[in-house]
Chain A
Amino acid sequence: MIVSAQYLYWLAGALLLAGAAMILRDAAHPRRLWSALFWADLGVLFIAGDRIPPAVAGLQVLLLTAIAACGGLRHGSARRLSQSVREAAAVRLGPKLLIPALTIPAITLIGSLAFDKTKIGSLFVLDPANSTLAALGVGCVVALGIACWLTRDSVTQAVRQSRELTDVIGWTLVLPQMLAMLGAMFQHTGVGHAIASLAEHYAAVDVRWIAVVIYCIGMAIFSVIMGGGFASFPLMAGGVGVPALIGTFHGDPAVVAALGMFSAYTGVLVTPMAAHFNLIPAALLELPDRYGVIKAQAPTAMIVLVVNMFLLYYLM
Chain B
Amino acid sequence: MSTAVDFWPLIGVAVVALGFACRFNPMLVVTVGAIATGIAAKMPLQDLLAQLGTGFVKARNLPLITLLPLPVIGLLERHGLREYAQRVIVRIRAATAGRLLVLYLFVRELTAALGLVSLGGHAQMVRPLIAPMAEGLAQERHGPIGDARYRLRAFAASADNIGLFFGEDVFVAFGVVLFMQNFLHGAGIEVSAVRLAAAGIPTAVCVFAIHGFRLYRLDNWLACELDKNAATAAEPASELGEQSP
Contact = CB atoms under 8 A, between A and B. Distances in A.
Interface of A: 5, 8-9, 11-12, 15-16, 45-46, 49-50, 52-62, 64-65, 68-69, 75, 77-78, 80-81, 83, 86-91, 93-95, 97-98, 100-101, 104-105, 108-109, 112, 130, 132-133, 135-137, 140, 143-144, 147-148, 151, 153, 155, 157-162, 164-166, 168-169, 171-186, 188-191, 193-195, 197-198, 225, 229-230, 233-234, 237-238, 242, 246, 252-255, 257-259, 261-262, 265, 268-269, 272-273, 275-282, 284-289, 292-293, 295-297, 299-300, 303-304, 307-308, 311, 315
A296 B194 CA distance: 32
Interface residues of B, number: 120
Nearest to B202: A311
Nearest to A225: B13
B221 to A, nearest CB: 12
Contacts of A9: 60, 64
A300 B56 contact: no
A45 B60 contact: yes
A108 B118 contact: yes
Contacts of B155: 296
B196 to A, nearest CB: 5
Nearest to B75: A158
Given A101-B73, A130-B61, A258 B5 contact: no
Given A109-B118, A246-B189, 13 more contacts: A8-B64, A52-B57, A59-B53, A88-B80, A95-B88, A100-B72, A101-B129, A178-B56, A279-B26, A282-B154, A285-B127, A289-B150, A292-B150
A150 B197 CA distance: 43
A50 B53 CA distance: 10
Interface in B89-143: 116, 118-129, 131
B184 interface: yes
Contacts of A56: 53
Given A77-B243, A97-B80, A189 B20 contact: no
Given A185-B38, A279-B26, A158 B71 contact: yes
B208 to A, nearest CB: 10
B80 A86 contact: yes
Nearest to B48: A58
Contact of A281 (B51, B157, B191): B157
Nearest to B188: A242
Interface string B200-231: 10110011001100100000000000000000
B30 A178 contact: yes
Given A101-B124, A184-B55, A68 B25 contact: yes
A133 B61 contact: yes
Nearest to A176: B62
Contact of B83 (A8, A16, A87, A160): A87
Nearest to B195: A254
B34 interface: yes
B187 interface: yes
Nearest to A234: B183
Contact of B13 (A136, A191, A277): A191
Contacts of B59: 176-177, 180-181, 184
Contact of B7 (A61, A159, A194): A194
Given A143-B72, A189-B40, A295-B154, A58 B51 contact: yes
Given A55-B46, A257-B196, A185 B12 contact: yes
Contacts of B234: none
B120 A105 contact: yes
A186 B52 contact: no
A97 B84 contact: yes
Contact of B71 (A161, A237, A275): A161
A162 B63 CA distance: 14
B214 to A, nearest CB: 6
A144 B71 contact: yes
B30 A175 contact: yes
A157 B78 contact: yes
Q: Which of B30, B33, B49, B155 has the most CB of A within 10 A?
A: B30
B22 interface: no
Nearest to A179: B30
27 contacts: A12-B60, A15-B70, A56-B53, A68-B25, A68-B27, A77-B245, A81-B79, A94-B84, A109-B118, A109-B119, A133-B64, A140-B68, A140-B71, A151-B76, A161-B75, A180-B58, A182-B34, A195-B10, A195-B13, A197-B5, A246-B189, A258-B199, A265-B169, A277-B161, A284-B122, A293-B161, A304-B207
Contact of B70 (A166, A279, A288, A299): A166
